[in-house]
């Protein structure tokens, strides 16, 4: 039997036309749980719609997304209407959504919100509990799948930024029922290694189910208990897990986690230059401040210098000396005048002045003045004081009158 040979493009085009012309598929109303929601910067929304056994990829263009009254999030149960068609270039069919409304919240989303509230109330998300990421790590530990794209991205970014940083990989399950236990063991193991400075917990993108190991309470508590800082790089920019909230720093992707943890050589040099500049400025500022203080203290010392005090005291002494000299001069002049006055007064009343008139004074040996002739009779020798001197004389009595 003859079968016509057609190209892939023709086949995809035929399937597209067939689906586009189907009455049910042109106006489909489908309910399910949102998964792997990504809101593009263009305004388009990409997501999956799933139930217990199947899922379908969906897209809602910006023109229709603008009419939504809520922000689609993973785990929401929604009702969507639109058309099923084929993206010819990839040969895949998807649901092009015209509208969407909330039909309830999925079980995983309910569990997520419940645990989030519980841990938040316990303070596991508090900023004061976060550990600072070291600026210059020498060795980083990475917990992720050894075969996934995440580890390759982390290694490539680290080697590109700073090949002096060592990487220790703890290969762990990142999906499935046992992944949570493996991740906890990895955190405990890397915490026991002394020279590890920081830990990266990472995996590539996926649906909420695929990322669920990072929403487990046992993992969250292991992160909170860690003595070493943990940076999470789980999924894509729009993916948030409980681990992200508990960790010390969240990165949107594994690559960004490596960029946060590992500084480039240029960044290190720039930081060193900045630190050097800051130190230089601080030293200059401190020296200038100290110089101003010294100048101020110098002025204070000069104002309170004992030299200034002594100079002032000398001035005071000189002033007092001058005043004292003036007073002494006045006193001496006064005393001199008094002495002169008394001298003149004494001179005026000096009994010896009478000697100038020819009188004399006669003394006995005891220097008593002899004023009577009878006293003179008993003396053999007398002293006679005249105006021009005195002497001792013998008395010879001739007669008496």
pLDDT tens per residue, range 51-64: 888 899 999 999 99
d(CA 209, CA 227): 29
Count Cα neighbours of 227 within 13 Å in the Cβ-side half-sphere: 9
pTM reported for the whole predicted model: 0.53
Cα–Cα nearest to 205, from 236, 244, 245, 240:
236
Same domain, 85 and 174: no
Confidence at residue 137, expressed as pLDDT on a 0 to 100 scale? 93
Strands 249-251 vs 361-363: parallel, antiparallel or unpaired: unpaired
Tally of CB atoms within 10 A around 18: 11
Confidence at residue 104, expressed as pLDDT on a 0 to 100 scale? 62
Q: Which residues contact 260 (CB under 8 A, 6 or more apart)?
A: 133, 231, 249, 251
d(CA 315, CA 162): 77
Same domain, 144 and 198: yes
Question: Residue 96 is encoded by which pair of tokens?
Answer: 């092009």
Confidence at residue 398, expressed as pLDDT on a 0 to 100 scale? 67
d(CA 83, CA 276): 63
Instruction: Say how many domains are in the chain.
Output: 4
Same domain, 339 and 363: no
Confidence at residue 326, expressed as pLDDT on a 0 to 100 scale? 87
Residue 17 forms part of a structural domain:
yes
Residue 384 forms part of a structural domain:
yes
Cα–Cα nearest to 111, from 216, 211, 232:
216
Cα–Cα nearest to 70, from 30, 95, 34, 41:
34
Residue that finishes a domain, picked among 205, 238, 262: 262
Same domain, 95 and 31: yes
Same domain, 145 and 233: yes
Strands 28-39 vs 76-87: parallel, antiparallel or unpaired: antiparallel
- Counting as low any pLDDT under 70, the low residues of the chain are 1-3, 104-106, 308-311, 351-358, 377-380, 397-401
Look up the domain containing 149 and give its range.
138-262
Same domain, 177 and 75: no
Write the pLDDT tens digit of every residue in 348-395. 777 666 666 667 777 877 777 777 777 776 666 778 777 788 888 777
d(CA 268, CA 274): 10
Give me the DSSP letters along 217-266. Answer: HHHHHHHHH-SS-EEEEES-TT---HHHHHSSEEESSHHHHHHHHS--HH
Confidence at residue 154, expressed as pLDDT on a 0 to 100 scale? 95
Helix ranges restricted to H, 95-216? 107-122, 149-161, 179-191
Confidence at residue 265, expressed as pLDDT on a 0 to 100 scale? 83
Residue 34 forms part of a structural domain:
yes
Confidence at residue 235, expressed as pLDDT on a 0 to 100 scale? 87
Residue 278 forms part of a structural domain:
no
């Amino acid at each position: 039997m003859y079968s016509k040979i057609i190209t892939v493009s023709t086949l995809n085009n035929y399937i597209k036309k067939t689906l586009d012309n189907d009455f049910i598929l042109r106006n489909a109303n489908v309910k399910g749980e949102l998964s792997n929601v990504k809101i593009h910067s263009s305004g388009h929304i990409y997501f999956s719609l799933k139930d217990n056994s199947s899922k379908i990829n969906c897209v809602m263009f910006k023109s229709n997304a603008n009419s939504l009254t809520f922000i689609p999030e993973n785990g929401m149960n929604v009702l969507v209407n639109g058309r099923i068609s084929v993206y010819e270039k990839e040969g895949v069919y998807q649901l092009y959504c015209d509208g969407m409304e909330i039909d309830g919240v999925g079980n995983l989303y309910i569990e997520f919100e419940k645990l989030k509230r519980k841990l938040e109330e316990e303070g596991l998300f508090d900023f004061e509990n976060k550990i600072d990421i070291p600026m210059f790590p020498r060795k980083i530990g990475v917990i992720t799948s050894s075969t996934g794209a995440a580890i390759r991205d982390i290694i490539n970014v680290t080697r590109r930024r700073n090949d002096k940083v060592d990487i220790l990989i703890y290969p762990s399950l990142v999906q499935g029922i046992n992944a949570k236990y493996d991740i906890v063991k990895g955190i405990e193991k890397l915490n026991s290694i002394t020279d590890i400075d920081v830990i990266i917990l990472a995996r590539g993108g996926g649906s909420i189910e695929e990322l669920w190991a990072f929403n487990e309470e046992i993992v969250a508590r292991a992160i909170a208990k860690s003595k070493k800082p943990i940076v999470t790089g789980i999924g894509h920019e729009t993916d948030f897990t409980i681990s992200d909230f508990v960790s010390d720093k969240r990165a949107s992707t594994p690559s960004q986690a490596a960029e946060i943890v590992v500084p480039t050589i240029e960044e290190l040099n720039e930081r060193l230059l900045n630190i050097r500049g800051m130190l230089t400025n601080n030293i200059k500022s401190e020296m200038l401040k100290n110089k101003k203080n010294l100048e101020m203290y110098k002025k204070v010392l000069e104002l309170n210098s004992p030299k200034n005090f002594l100079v002032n005291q000398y001035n005071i002494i000189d002033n007092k000396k001058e005043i004292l000299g003036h007073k002494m001069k006045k006193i001496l002049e006064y005393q001199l005048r008094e002495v002169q006055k008394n001298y003149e007064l004494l001179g005026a009343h000096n009994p010896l002045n009478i000697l100038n008139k020819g009188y004399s004074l006669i003394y006995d040996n005891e220097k008593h003045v002899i004023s009577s002739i009878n006293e003179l009779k008993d003396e053999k020798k007398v002293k006679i004081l005249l105006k021009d001197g005195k002497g001792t004389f013998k008395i010879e009595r001739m007669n008496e009158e």
